[in-house]
Structure 1
Amino acid sequence: MKPPKPQSRPDRVSLWRYLKLFRQDLLSAQPQRLYRAWMAEFRTPFFRSYMINQPDLVDEVLKKRPDDFPKSHRISEGLRPLLGESVFLTNGAVWKRQRRIIDPAFEGGRLKDTFPAMRAAADACVDRLRPLVGTQVECEQVTSHAAADVIFRTLFSVPIEHDIAAQVFDRFRTYQREQPLLNLAAFVPLPRWLPRFHSRKTRKTAQEIRSLIAKLTKDRAAAIAAHRAPDDLATKIMTTPDLETGKCFEPEEMVDQVAIFFLAGHETSASALAWTLYLMALYPEWQERLAKEAEALDDRSFAVMSKLKLSRDVFREALRLYPPVPMMVRQASCPEKFRNRDIPKDSQIVISPWHLHRQERLWDNPDGFDPNRWGTENGKTCQREAYIPFSTGPRVCPGAGFAMVEGPLILSTLLRHFRFETIPEKTPVPVAHLTVRSRDGIWLRVVER
């Protein structure tokens, strides 16, 4: 039994058909041959872009020469109403300054400090799920709630039930479904001055979210000034000066950064956790092994994470099969030559974790669920060379370590208390929204252990 994946389009379709498929779902718009290709060129009367699916080319773009391949401004335009000039969208000196301020908050020692908040969010998730035992549950809603709770507890020391946190969460659910990961501007070279045609509802929802975040950051700034702020991630980031300029984030900049922390830290974790729960239901023998391992959670200290090895391997495998961000787009700042192909300046370079993680020439059993692969030579090699759920290089997600504690912890906590079962008539179909989600949700039956 293979985990579900989108139905790839035929290798040849008309431009009109491709654009229609793309608008419906980025993943199913791509042809099957991309799972074997080292590189592919997308050429239409309007644009040219290149997908690279070969590890050394990915390294060239993301690790060796990242300044020569900045983030595409076309992608930035699609997310700017919510994210402004956040670290996710900026390039060059602005981005480097932002990372110098942000990175210290996510250093290894801080994970131990944030662990109690993560543990409290995991326990709260169990409490919310217990009244639903015996029913069919849409797991993406469950994991979204849990991941948002983690973000607010670790960032602002408030639970998701906090008035402003609850409002941000509610509005973000609206934003998530109406805003695709990549808008048409990513693939059609519209002039930068041309409006990007965000819907009025998208712009309104983004502004509401930013206004709520601005209230949280303003309150925190006042608490910092009064020397009564908790020692959480928001305080750490707001009080860390750039080592080169000595300046901290301005209030508007902090709103931008909190917006991306919420999007990246909540949306991606929710996606990964929901797919992991589905995989556990699909492979009950693995679910039982993790439930047994979860007995270690009697230890409530950070040291328990070293005992959740199976949970970590399962979560890592779910990230391989369903990477939350399925594609990343860079822009060639000068002419290039990849695999003897001339790449014109300003071409779009598409790096697809979705395809790289299933590259048939690299992975053993690429479409299969096999958490044991991480102990094999093939798995270890591919983990180094072809596994980028958090990107790689200088722009690797600063919260990667955070996510690899949060995911296995919540997964183990849920499996300790509940068993999840598939519903035959509700097999999830992965599609790309802001992250890889299921077209009609991930529905599972919840049974008390």
Structure 2
Amino acid sequence: MIPPKPVGRPRRVSLWRYWRLFRQDILSAQPDHLYRAKMAEFRTPFFRSFLLNEPGLVREVLTGRPDDFPKSTRVTRGLEPLLGQSVFVTNGDTWKRQRRIIDPAFEGGRIRNAFPKMLAAAEAAAERIGPGLLDVEAMASHATADVIFRTLFSIPIDNALAADTYDGFRAFQRVQPVATGAALVPWLPVRHPKPAREAAIRLRGLISELVATRQREIEAGTAPDDLATRIMTATATETGEGFSGTEMIDQVAIFFLAGHETSAALLGWALWCLAAAPEWAEEVAREAAEFLVEPDFGQLSSMPATRNVLRETLRLYPPVPMMVREATRQETFRRRSVPVGSQIVISPWHLGRHEEQWHNPDAFDPARWETETAKKAAREAYLPYSAGPRVCPGAGFAMAEGAVLLASLMARFRFEVTDRPVPVAHLTLRSRDGIRLRVERR
């Protein structure tokens, strides 16, 4: 089964044409030869960028010398009204301190403790579904937001403050542009549209209520043992200092935005792929039915088909399709000069579909993950959650969450394809017009 893939642009286009395509969808703005290239250079009058597909260069940037390639601010500046100085946008010592506080909250044992809340959110999602036509992308967004609220603040999404916060995130996403002029012309000031500023102010106000309430509970000794409590009471080992109130609002904003959006993208595309590959849908449904007899965190490792479906979906539809770093010193990549300030693009989308790395790269084939060829490719060209020090701290959490949600839905429902969604990349990789499937109860 060959799932949908956007059509690439011609190899040579004007800067103005490129910018228009980029604002509409990052992926359609890229030429098709990137699926074969080991490295590609893109020049503008204002900066140079290099897309890296050679595994050795990718490792050097992400793992070998990450401090020499900090995250580029050209992409993240547009999100400043909402994310402030969260771990998603910072670099250097600030980012390292933030990760030392955050990382312990996502250790393996902590994920196990979150399992009952994931399961409760999955059960609630299944109860809201009825037979008929369903936009599974919208359903997935709601379900994964419910997981975040339950695991972060121990409240379900139908809690009044949680519901208002979720609506605030949706409002921000509707008005926040995918790219700003400052991303193309470095010396332009970042101009945030008034609706985006207003949505961000409202949303940060709602988050501050959640954080202030939790702080009072911590001081009173009544706070539940969840992610918010662990992070708010954690400290950086070298200073003994934790997050300030404003810093915690920044971190909660990125947990919600990145946490529920990336997981929703994974779940939505996985459901479409299974609907289009019914033999895999039945295998996942069989595993899910066995899992739900007496669901336990340890059983997640006993669902190989489900795990491989999620891996294959992440290969084809990585939630964050491109990552941008910046060269802080003169480099030479593949005998080509890379000036200071160059934008270094690493694309999980192109790596996951690269013709030299994967057999039949555009096909949905979860069975490939049992082969040595795919295991080798995975070590070199599979980066759905990045790699190195900046690997997503919630990667393990997201995989467990995806398995629980997928199992809860597939055990109860059959999904049938009604059309082919069009992938587009904005903040995350979603469908242009939603993902609609026909649903019937098993």
Report the TM-score when normalising by structure 2. Answer: 0.98
User: What does residue range 150-161 of structure 1 map to in structure 2 within 5 Å?
Assistant: 150-161=147-158
SS in 2 for 1:29: coil
Q: Cα distance, 1:164 vs. partner?
A: 1.2
Matching residue of 2:269: 275
Distance 1:253 1:39 in 2: 38
SS in 1 for 2:192: coil
Rounded Cα–Cα distance in structure 2 between residues aligned with 1:240 and 1:383: 34
User: Partners in 2 of 1:216 and 1:415 — Cα distance?
Assistant: 33
CA distance in 1, matches of 2:109, 2:52: 36
Partner of residue 58, structure 1: 58
The answer to whether the 8 A contact 1:269-1:407 is kept is yes
State the AA in 2 paired with 1:72: S
Please give the alpha-carbon distance, in whole angstroms, between the structure 1 residues aligned to 2:172 and 2:360.
36
Counterpart pick for 1:407 among 402, 406, 412:
402
Partner of 1:49: 49
How many residues of Structure 1 are paired with residues of Structure 2 in the alignment? Answer: 441
Contact kept, 8 Å, 1:139 with 1:274, in 2: the verdict is: yes
Pairwise CA distance, 1:175: 1.8
Separation (CA, whole Å) in 2 of partners of 1:421 and 1:45: 48
**Separation in structure 2 between the aligned mates of residue 202 and residue 393 of structure 1, nearest angstrom:** 32
1:7 paired with 2:2, answer no
Asked whether the equivalents of residues 266 and 313 of structure 2 are also in contact (C-alpha less than 8 Å), the reply is yes
Superposed CA deviations along residues 110-129 of structure 1, whole A, max 9, x for unmatched, are 01100000000000000111
CA offset digits 1:259-304 (Å, max 9, x no partner): 0100111000001100000001110111011111112211222122
Superposed displacement of residue 177, structure 1: 3.1
Alpha-carbon shift at residue 182 of structure 1 (Å): 4.2
The CA deviation at 1:184 is 3.9
CA contact (8 A) 1:26 1:432 kept: yes
Given that residues 179 and 434 in structure 1 are in contact (C-alpha distance below 8 angstroms), is that contact kept between their aligned partners in structure 2?
no
Change over 3 Å in CA distance of 1:23–1:182 after alignment to 2:
closer
Match of 1:328 among 301, 310, 323: 323
Query: Corresponding residue for 1:351?
Result: 346
The match for 2:435 is 442
Query: Partner amino acid for 1:428?
Result: P
384-393 vs 11-20, which deviates more? 11-20
Give the corresponding residue for 1:291.
285
Q: Distance in 2 between matches of 1:299 and 1:401?
A: 22
CA–CA separation in structure 2 for the residues paired with 1:299 and 1:310: 19
Letter in 1 for 2:295: R
Query: Which whole-Å CA distance do the structure 1 matches of 2:12 and 2:94 have between them?
Result: 41
Does the 8 A contact of 2:270 with 2:310 survive in 1?
yes
Residue 172 of structure 1 and its aligned partner are, at CA, apart by 1.1
Q: 1:175, 1:38 → 2: CA distance? A: 37
Structure 1: how far apart are the matches of 2:180 and 2:6? Answer: 19
CA shift for structure 1 position 181: 4.5
The 8 Å contact of residues 180 and 191 in structure 2, kept in 1 or not, is answered as: no
Give, in whole Å, the separation in 1 of the partners of 2:179 and 2:330. Answer: 24
Q: Which residue of 1 aligns with 2:204?
A: 210
Shift of 1:254: 0.2
The one of 247, 255, 258 equivalent to 1:261 is 255
Match of 1:378 among 351, 373, 380: 373
User: How far apart, in 2, do the equivalents of 1:49 and 1:306 lie?
Assistant: 41
Structure 1 residue 180: Cα displacement: 4.4
In structure 2, the residue corresponding to 1:342 is in which secondary structure?
strand
Work out whether residues 4 and 428 of structure 1, in 8 Å CA contact, stay in contact via their aligned partners in 2: yes
1:303 aligned residue (293, 298, 304): 298
Displacement, 1:387? 0.5
1:427 maps to what in 2?
Answer: 420
CA deviation map 1:187-245 (0-9, x unaligned): x2322xx4312110011111111110110000000000000000000000000111000
Q: How does 1:16-31 map to 2 (within 5 A)?
A: 16-31=16-31
Deviation at 1:27, TM superposition (A): 0.5
* 1:79 is the counterpart of 2:79: yes
Q: How far apart are the structure 1 equivalents of 2:167 and 2:104?
A: 30
AA at the equivalent of 1:138: D
- Residue 116 of structure 1 aligns with which residue? 116
Corresponding residue for residue 39 of structure 1: 39
The root-mean-square deviation of aligned C-alpha atoms, in Å, is 1.0
- Identity, in percent, stands at 60
1:367 aligns with 2:362: yes
1:330 is paired with a residue whose SS is strand
The CA distance in 2 between the partners of 1:311 and 1:181, in whole Å, is 32
**Partner of 2:337: helix, strand, or coil?**
strand
Q: Secondary structure at the match of 1:312?
A: helix
Match of 2:186 among 184, 190, 203: 190
Q: Distance in 2 between matches of 1:258 and 1:285?
A: 39
Offset of 1:21 from its aligned partner? 1.1
Deviation at 1:324, TM superposition (A): 0.5
Question: 1:316 Cα shift?
Answer: 1.0
Q: Within 1, Cα distance between the matches of 2:178 and 2:14?
A: 23
Aligned pair in 2 of structure 1 residues 330, 182: CA closer, same or farther (>3 Å)?
Answer: farther
Tell me if 1:388 matches 2:410: no
Distance 1:10 1:158 in 2: 49
Alignment partners' CA distance in 2, 1:320 and 1:306: 20
2:131 pairs with 1:137: no
Instruction: Judge conservation of contact 1:359–1:366 (CA < 8 Å) in 2.
Output: yes
Contact preservation (8 Å) 2:23, 2:178 = no
Which runs of no fewer than 5 residues in structure 1 stay unpaired? none
What is the rounded CA distance, in whole Å, between the counterparts of 1:102 and 1:351 in structure 2?
A: 24
2:411 is paired with a residue whose SS is helix
Amino acid at match of 1:433: H
User: Unaligned stretches of 5+ in structure 2?
Assistant: none
